Structure 1
């Protein structure tokens, strides 16, 4: 006989779980008891949103579901931010939420929530376990649903008395071994379709990617002479030095690349949903309007045809299909002129555009790009500062980028902590804005507790810069709600036990970064930016002038 918490944890161990994240709660004490002796490393975060983002980042890094335990009511509500990231990023994740005892249900008991109703739209599957003996079944199903097809988050609500109750039950077997199809014949059909193109374009992204898949994509693009664009915040899916790499379809991305997407006559969507950001708000390609012929490859059959009406579709994970494509002989088509033109557009785009102020983000990011090794992992959340990273940093190795395609602020620090714990020998750099960092800055305490050593480079312009830019373009000179009063970030880092420095001139950054790396702990380097420097392509004054011109 085992209590429910032990049954649950034993099943997770059989499924291959190695790490879990939590904020402890009285509603799942039995799980915490079982984790005490389990071969699962438990990381205690400071807020449930940070814990859920750490779990999501762990899933991106490992391919296994990110596991997060939170308490009922407010704990689950706080964790919703991480669920949203997992949903829009197609990341496998399981959120275990404590629940009131079964005998207290439907009385609006203390912190009671109907999780299936409240979180159903954020999750692939939401369920509540009502029988201790069925815990292995529910946990195994949650693992499968989170990883199958288009991956995503699953929520399991766990009544307190189900976890504390006992049962004599057998654990389910480990996950089945999947026999991956070869897709050789289908890949030949896809190449036959591509052969009819004058201006072909591959757009790669989405889930199910790996270092091997990134190499296969490079070999396929080289053999066929094809240009490749990557979707929003999937820039590490192909070595950016590859001659066929055309850039990323991102927020504030290269207008010429979006124009090339509209100009292409055959587009191979490889693993990506090609969402709003990657399609320039559905304007580079417009759903329901005539456009290029599309071949859509996606693991979720419900995705092909959901937005874009493809001429052909393949239900397959990107890893398997790009492996089959990379094995095919060259078609012999000469697309060199088209591919070279897209590459030239990219090279021109990443040539730094000078911004005002003594600290220039374009130079800081360019220095990081040139001096960080291929093994470095760079994380970020959301904000105008991220546009500098997208534009000027060249990713060379798969899984060197951890960023939310959902555009969630606060993601960079929790993700960096996870990356540092998972790969303690690899440099980890978190890029954050002053507003973005303060969403989860309390997780510096988590970094201190578990020995994570990311270097956080915070761009301080004293405002929510992205929203300020939108304000100036839409309601110029009518500013409300976007100015910030910030703490002394280096002093804050030191208060948490880390290293902190402030940089007020670009030329001082390399030495500051070197000292941060040598500190042996986590660090914050605060960049004091000119408030005029909004984004790589526009200053504050230019945004206001554009808004005035539209009035």
Structure 2
């Protein structure tokens, strides 16, 4: 049956099980919008391509299936780059369709013309431009396969508008199927042999592919072998933080004692993580070029093995498949019981709140959330010192409860929360954001109201870009430049969009405000008026200034 390219595209998305797409519309892909209309695929219309891209990325992170994005050519595509960068660094499957100028106008610097292969090439797993309407099914099937294979990531397909509106009789291409991966006997033996030789092992978990089932199997493996388990930056949801074998996260603002244990370990069992600079404190705890512990590296992408570290051995396998096999084995705890017990005790001490100045205290806010939110609550955040409180003091329950960018992107938390609420309308979704972080994407409040995303936003308002100010005060004490903010009345702004909100200026008022927010049936903003003296969980403004001179 002859169909225009937009309908062919939409039918392919339906075959791949796409539940919704995220977009900012553009005239360059009108045929695709028409195809989505016929196919009945919901289109979440956003206010900025960066926010739309982050919503699509959050969908991929939650489901393991590619989040789908539509943006127009030129400015639309370049605006979306921030979300594609998150998807790349976070190993999140994503497929972005970008409008393109007509084929006959190329190479003349036509209106909004961009060479997408060159622009997106270093940023995504694969980028292509579809020149023939009848090849759309082929390209789309490949895009979904590439986005989910090995180390998942983003794919970009550019769609010339005349190609997309043209008619072709093209058969649909079914999704690529693959057998589920399983650990071999040789791979299992390699891990067990390394454990048999260890005295101070540390399991470090991260990367993609984790689920509630793999989290339960990870806990079972840790119990059976009495192993301490750390997670990489913003992967705290991979294991219930209340479990006695969980010992904390290796990332920005990590527990220094956990960092020391990474440096002192004689075996690092790296499961899914790339074990990058954030997890190793800028490669100071582990040095790829120097001596260090034995590293057994399990990663789905063979190209990651040996790229930074010299694994002994490297095992090309999704980490949850290895964990599933290990969890089926009889327990064999080694001589490291005290090592694990001490690591857990250090985690417990580290997560005991340290009081900060001011009438509203972030450590108490996070402690209340950790103690009172339902087990299935989803917490999202972007970047900023406020997030250090969340990472340190909140006890994550398991996969699907944390949406945060390992790339450290500001503005991520709110679009991610909108996406999470649309995917899980019955679960509480709470976005933690700094005043600077929230202002980067708060225009998506309109998207949330339009599409019925019921989210709670807790804004940490200290009137500054707190992280940058912290580094500024440490390096150039008292010389403030470019880090102060003039902020709106956030609850009033929420009401202008059709939501609601409240200001909390005293800690005693927070529990009632949170109960009101959770009961609301529309987006709700809680603005926390914070003391500007409190920069981070363990550092005040005066302490940062006292450090001075290149800290």
Category of TM-score, reference length = shorter chain: over 0.9
Q: Is contact 1:188-1:328 (8 Å) kept?
A: no
Q: Is contact 2:434-2:460 (8 Å) kept?
A: yes
Alignment of 1:101-140 (within 5 A): 101-140=102-141
Q: Distance in 2 between matches of 1:120 and 1:273?
A: 21
* Larger CA deviation: 15-24 vs 401-410: 15-24
Q: Is contact 1:15-1:175 (8 Å) kept?
A: no
Aligned counterpart, 1:465: 466
* Larger CA deviation: 188-197 vs 359-368: 188-197
Q: Is contact 1:288-1:309 (8 Å) kept?
A: no
Alignment of 1:78-227 (within 5 A): 78-227=79-228
Aligned counterpart, 1:541: 542
TM-score, normalisation: structure 2: 0.99
SS in 1 for 2:548: helix
Q: Is contact 1:131-1:162 (8 Å) kept?
A: yes
SS in 1 for 2:121: helix
Q: Distance in 2 between matches of 1:476 and 1:118?
A: 39
Deviations 1:338-359 (A, max 9, x none): 0001001100100111100000
Q: Is contact 1:420-1:428 (8 Å) kept?
A: yes
Aligned counterpart, 1:402: 403
Aligned counterpart, 1:365: 366
Q: Is contact 2:228-2:343 (8 Å) kept?
A: yes
Q: Report how far residue 120 of structure 1 moved.
A: 0.4
Q: Is contact 2:91-2:153 (8 Å) kept?
A: yes
Aligned counterpart, 1:446: 447
Q: Is contact 1:18-1:39 (8 Å) kept?
A: no
Q: Report how far residue 184 of structure 1 moved.
A: 4.3
Deviations 1:151-198 (A, max 9, x none): 111111000001001110100123314243243442233112111100
SS in 1 for 2:303: coil
Q: Distance in 2 between matches of 1:407 and 1:86?
A: 12
Deviations 1:117-141 (A, max 9, x none): 0110001001100111100000010
Alignment of 1:263-412 (within 5 A): 263-412=264-413
Q: Distance in 2 between matches of 1:340 and 1:89?
A: 31
Q: Is contact 2:120-2:127 (8 Å) kept?
A: yes
Q: Is contact 2:240-2:397 (8 Å) kept?
A: yes
For structure 2, the 5+ residue unaligned runs are none
Runs of 4+ in 1 over 4 A off after TM superposition: none
Q: Distance in 1 between matches of 2:406 and 2:180?
A: 30
1:488 aligns with 2:489: yes
Deviations 1:34-69 (A, max 9, x none): 101224221000000000000000001111001000
Aligned counterpart, 1:17: 18
SS in 2 for 1:37: helix
Q: Distance in 2 between matches of 1:111 and 1:258?
A: 48
* Larger CA deviation: 311-320 vs 383-392: 311-320
Q: Report how far residue 421 of structure 1 moved.
A: 0.5
Q: Report how far residue 16 of structure 1 moved.
A: 1.4
Q: Distance in 2 between matches of 1:388 and 1:26?
A: 44
Q: Is contact 1:432-1:459 (8 Å) kept?
A: yes
Q: Distance in 2 between matches of 1:390 and 1:79?
A: 27
1:424 aligns with 2:425: yes
Q: Is contact 1:225-1:334 (8 Å) kept?
A: no
Q: Is contact 2:133-2:164 (8 Å) kept?
A: yes
Aligned counterpart, 1:8: 9
Q: Report how far residue 477 of structure 1 moved.
A: 1.1
Deviations 1:274-325 (A, max 9, x none): 1111111111101110000000000011111111111111000112111011
Q: Is contact 2:491-2:500 (8 Å) kept?
A: yes
Q: Is contact 2:199-2:334 (8 Å) kept?
A: no
Deviations 1:460-495 (A, max 9, x none): 000000000010111111111000000000100111
Please give the root-mean-square deviation of Cα atoms over the aligned residues, in Å.
1.0
TM-score, normalisation: structure 1: 0.99
Aligned counterpart, 2:63: 62
Aligned counterpart, 1:247: 248
Q: Is contact 2:238-2:399 (8 Å) kept?
A: yes
Q: Distance in 1 between matches of 2:146 and 2:349?
A: 43
Number of positions where the alignment pairs a residue of Structure 1 with one of Structure 2? 550
Q: Distance in 2 between matches of 1:537 and 1:332?
A: 35
Q: Report how far residue 207 of structure 1 moved.
A: 0.6
Q: Distance in 2 between matches of 1:400 and 1:198?
A: 33
Q: Is contact 1:184-1:324 (8 Å) kept?
A: no
Q: Distance in 2 between matches of 1:273 and 1:122?
A: 17
SS in 1 for 2:87: helix
Q: Distance in 2 between matches of 1:184 and 1:438?
A: 52
SS in 2 for 1:389: helix
Q: Is contact 1:191-1:331 (8 Å) kept?
A: no
Distance 1:184 1:501, change over 3 A: farther
Q: Distance in 2 between matches of 1:519 and 1:272?
A: 38
SS in 2 for 1:302: helix
Aligned counterpart, 2:72: 71
